[in-house]
Amino acid sequence: MSSRLRKTLSKASLRGLYAIAMVLCENNPDRKTQPLKVLVSGGASIILSKRQPHLESTKCIEITAKDPEVEELFAAKQDAWKKLPHVYQNWLVADHLSDELKERQMIYNNSINNEFGPCWYAEGLAVYTTDWKFQLGAQIRRSILFGADQTALEKVFAIIRILVDDQYKHPLLVSHVYAWYSNRALLAPDDLRYIVAAYQARFPNELTPITL
């Protein structure tokens, strides 16, 4: 693995990334030369569900795994996840990749502004665009559950600003936020009111981000 990639993804982060990955590897006899498909999203459940196959809206990451340590991490997870009945079996799914990348905000912006294509490169790793709206509901939920940790709330703010300022050009509708979240039953109206209040406290001169 390149030194550039190692600088971006520390060994601990790399282990953490693949430790949470659902390794659903393609039948590829030579993974050392053929890139692996990786689906990354906080909304992986809605994207991967066979009932709602939004694969055209995914974030794809191609990893040319030339590092034996990476190969070992892939293999260790393959058996644990290959029996899952509700997801496509030819994808490797890694949640929270944005936590591991220093260029997270740039990836957020490019994933909204580009239709489909690469938005970040390192040797052996290419991040492709997706629509981050699928992650908004999950991050709102996390910000409620882990209120003391501001990481999820900052992600909510970042995604909202991109969606409102760059894509939709107007406040989001509550119905849209619910529609983008596969676990919408877990998202209470009070959760959205909390997010709106927190957003307005942070950005007092801006319009409300979500029409309640």
Give me the mean pLDDT over the 70-95 stretch.
46
Q: What is the pLDDT of residue 199?
A: 92
Which residues, 6+ apart, have CB-to-CB distance to 168 below 8 Å? none
pLDDT digits (tens, 9 = 90+) for 120-161: 344 344 444 345 676 788 788 888 888 766 777 887 888 888
Q: Judge whether residue 25 has pLDDT over 90.
A: no
Q: Give the rounded percent of residues in the chain with a pLDDT score beyond 70.
A: 34
The span from the CA of 80 to the CA of 17, in Å, is 16
